[in-house]
Amino acid sequence: MGKQAATSLSVLLWAFTACSSANLTNNYSSSLNYAQVTKVSAIEQTENTWCFHTQVRHNDQGWNHYADHWEVIDLNGNVLGQRPLAHPHDNEQPFTRSQCGIKIPNRIKEVVVRAKCNHHGYEGKQVLVNLMQAKGDHFSVKRRQ
């Protein structure tokens, strides 16, 4: 493969990745009937191991309709970690729950945090977290020194 072809391929892959990550986080319903991730704090515990503190907002209505978990996925949709939400949070909105021990390989630079409700699935706001930046839209990252 020539240098020009390799450069063109690199640009094409970058554009595909940028568009894919934008699609993961830009197409959502803002209705509180869908679980919305409103803020994420990611803290590196050890190399490749992270703790996520995730704020979720949802119009919980008892056991029949509530946010039942949130998860961290890579840009290919592979689940890296999950935090079950064991009960409705009718009177606690938004609420923050944490999950530590999430393994993220060094090659992964961005992840998506999304929440799910037991009625509508993952149709609410998701947050794209760039693990190489200290902060961004609706997220903060603290890496080990």
* For range 117-141, the mean pLDDT: 94
How confident is the model over 49-91, as pLDDT tens digits?
999 999 999 988 899 998 989 999 999 999 999 999 989 887 8
How confident is the model over 90-126, as pLDDT tens digits?
788 899 999 999 999 999 999 999 999 998 888 899 9
pTM of the model: 0.81
Domains of the chain (ranges plus CATH)? 3-142 (2.60.40.150)
Whether a cis peptide bond, with omega within 30° of 0, leads into 105 is no
